[in-house]
Chain A
Amino acid sequence: MTTTMTSHTIAVLVNDQPGVLQRVSGLFGRRGFNIESITVGQSEEEGLSRMVIVTQGDDKTLEQIEKQLYKLIDVIKVVNLSSKPMVARELALIKVKSEPAERPEIMGVVETFRAAVVDIGTNSMIVQVVGDTEKIDAMIELLHPYGIRELSRTGVTAMIRGNA
């Protein structure tokens, strides 16, 4: 057991019931567990949703998080994704100021990152970027000098690589 604080990505398969997000997030809140990001959506099975939660904590905290989650009746399965090789992705929409003269420069940044411009206004554009958290942080940093008007990130969704 180590006591170092590390980031963990946990997938939680839950019954698609009203209030289930409140049960899970409430559990984190009242037990003092941290939530860096939480995403929820449909899973491969009808009636079940998958939540992906990114949390900070030592191994003991992670163990408690898993055990406490399993106590919720609506929780079917808890998987610590970050204990195995995983694919983690986040999506961000970034509305960046762009006078016509700046557009080619911004497009250059966007292309380098394999991001996409999904909307262009008279003096702004929306950039869509998908990738791991670091890539999105980097993209935001590069677009920052042009002036970010609005930013919306989805939080991380993730899966274990291969057949696991």
Chain B
Amino acid sequence: MSAQIPAVRSTEQLREKWMKPEVITGSEILLRSLVLEGVECVFGYPGGAVLYIYDALYGFKDFHHLLTRHEQGAIHAADGYARASGKVGVCIATSGPGATNTVTGIATAFMDSVPLVVITGNVVSSLIGTDAFQEADITGITMPITKHSYLVRSVEELPRVIHEAFHIANTGRKGPVLIDIPKDVSADKTLFEPVQSINLRGYNPKVVPNHHQLEKVAAAIKEAERPVILAGGGVVYSGGHEELLEFVTRTEIPITTTLLGLGAFPSGNPLWMGMPGMHGTYTANQAIQNSDLLINIGARFDDRVTGRLDGFAPHAKVVHIDIDPAEIGKNVKTEIPVVGDVKTVLELLNPLVGRSDKADAWRSQISQWMADKPYKYKDSDTELKPQWVIELLNDTTKGEAIVTTDVGQHQMWAAQYYKFNQPRSWITSGGLGTMGFGFPSAIGAQMAHPDRLVISINGDGGMQMCAQELAICAINNIPVKVVVINNQVLGMVRQWQELIYENRYSHIDLAGSPDFVKLAEAYGVKGLRASNKEEAKQAWKEAMETPGPVLVEFVVSKEENVYPMVTQGSTIDQMLMGDCE
């Protein structure tokens, strides 16, 4: 890759440089604190209420600031950065509309437990509550979608607040924290001394599990005849993928990984059954439904995974490992709850477990299902099939790229046909299902990993929700390969209308979309288009060989559906198999 992304400058010397006590403004305190928290890159958009902060940023070189074209772009980029790096993503927006433009991104990060610190400006303290120009109660607005939030009352609080915000965002069950800073607070001066300690009485995430519970899990594994592991995003976030591999290797229990858990377990491993749930594999869903022991590791039993709850895993004793005790028993009755950090839990659990010997017949059954009912589609020589395009990307990159997606059919095909082998390589909006997320999150991921190949897979709908960020790629030479799977409709909506709403195709036609190649070129990004296999191979080859950002539009068939599919209200073994039959 020939990324010329500005170098990251967070070093120990830098920290020392900013540690010395000094009387400075709130804005300077903010910037120094961010450096001290290890921040390398922030995404933002200036405006009236953050002008002091941006004034302090003038010439500031100790972390990189990327000016996006919309606050939604900034916060999704910060989110992508956080998911790809495991560090806290940081976003700055001004008061009022700037702040409210981040709401979708905050909710996206909240649903998927992504650590973010969102800094918003607010009007001067004396004007708060007067409906002043560009005033919005952003702490009030975002209370339900943040892990915690602060409205900073005085400049003296600022160092403590920033330190606490980073701590809260990236510990326990991770999540977004908002810091709302009134304009006068960013201008006021005080003696800045870096905060070293944290005193949060009400916040003590339980990392180490109860040993007795682990023994129960080990005993249950020994007895199980049809055990299944369901692993989720918690494995990725805790960094416990190696421990998970060891757990599976020791027990030889078949494993399914949720949408957010893709990459937490190597897809090539014969015990991996693919993804479960609405568009999951036949095998994963049958395995869950027929299991007598279901070991949930860091997943939250989302309804897209469970389908109809009262018929979910009807024969299984349920083990649930989660750092958030509120997730245990929230949706599914749990016999063995284990509260703790996934990595720590597995480290302690692994020495206690051995091969599940009673499950040999079960393992053969599962191999049989996998052989009989893999993902399938009807390929064509006359038109491009979206699944084929994903396979092309997978084959040419050997599954090594970081892939971000938007939301819809292309997202599910990417989840089904791209084979992930390492964590933090798959970035997608799972919980909130946010269109517009795919492309800007790739910018963040590329900032986190300048030397890796980052592919952003989008539909023609979602691409138009944050397309303006092409400018950021062009100006900063961020070499994201932007894929647009263009089927000229809102594909997933079309699929539901076809299958559930009796072909009543209401308002899904995206006629009037721009010429994506010209759109890319208008921003100074190379654009390519392919409408058949030969063109596709050629265009993708050219994209891969071109340094810097490239947009490739794949014009695909309109009528393609994602299969298998579990319709809402069904149990997950009641699948429409479609072309997978």
Contact = CB atoms under 8 A, between A and B. Distances in A.
Given A67-B325, A67-B326, A19 B148 contact: no
A122 interface: no
Which of A19, A26, A75 has the largest count of B CB atoms less than 10 A from its CB?
A: A19
A4 to B, nearest CB: 17
A64 B148 CA distance: 19
Contact of A74 (B151, B202, B324): B202
B143 interface: yes
A112 B100 CA distance: 58
A22 interface: yes
Interface in A63-94: 63-64, 67-68, 70-77
A18 interface: yes
Contacts of A26: 143-144
B286 interface: no
Nearest to B148: A73
A73 B165 CA distance: 11
Given A73-B147, A73-B200, A68 B168 contact: no
Nearest to B139: A19
Given A14-B202, A70-B202, A70-B326, 16 more contacts: A15-B201, A15-B202, A19-B139, A23-B143, A26-B143, A60-B329, A64-B326, A67-B325, A70-B325, A71-B173, A72-B148, A72-B202, A73-B203, A76-B201, A76-B202, A77-B202
A14 B202 CA distance: 8
16 contacts: A22-B143, A23-B143, A26-B144, A60-B329, A64-B326, A64-B329, A67-B325, A67-B326, A68-B326, A70-B202, A72-B202, A73-B147, A73-B202, A74-B202, A75-B202, A77-B202
Contacts of B203: 73
Contacts of A68: 326
A22 B140 contact: yes
A132 B202 CA distance: 31
Interface in B284-329: 324-326, 329
Nearest to A19: B139
Given A15-B202, A19-B151, A76-B202, A63 B140 contact: no
A75 B202 CA distance: 5
A23 B147 CA distance: 11
Interface in A1-42: 14-15, 18-19, 22-23, 26, 30
A64 B330 contact: yes
Nearest to B140: A22
Contacts of B324: 71
A83 B262 CA distance: 43
B202 to A, nearest CB: 4
Contacts of A18: 151
Interface in A91-149: none
A115 to B, nearest CB: 38
Contacts of A60: 329
Contacts of B329: 60, 63-64
Interface string B147-180: 1100100000000000000001000010000000
> Top 7 closest A-B pairs, CB basis?
A67-B326, A73-B148, A76-B202, A75-B202, A73-B203, A76-B201, A30-B144
Nearest to A29: B144
B165 to A, nearest CB: 10
Nearest to B200: A73
A42 B269 CA distance: 58
Contacts of A72: 148, 202
A18 B140 CA distance: 11
B214 to A, nearest CB: 21
A26 B145 CA distance: 11
Nearest to B201: A76
A60 B324 CA distance: 16
Contacts of A19: 139-140, 143, 151
A31 to B, nearest CB: 9
Which of A18, A60, A71 has the largest count of B CB atoms less than 10 A from its CB?
A: A71
A64 to B, nearest CB: 6
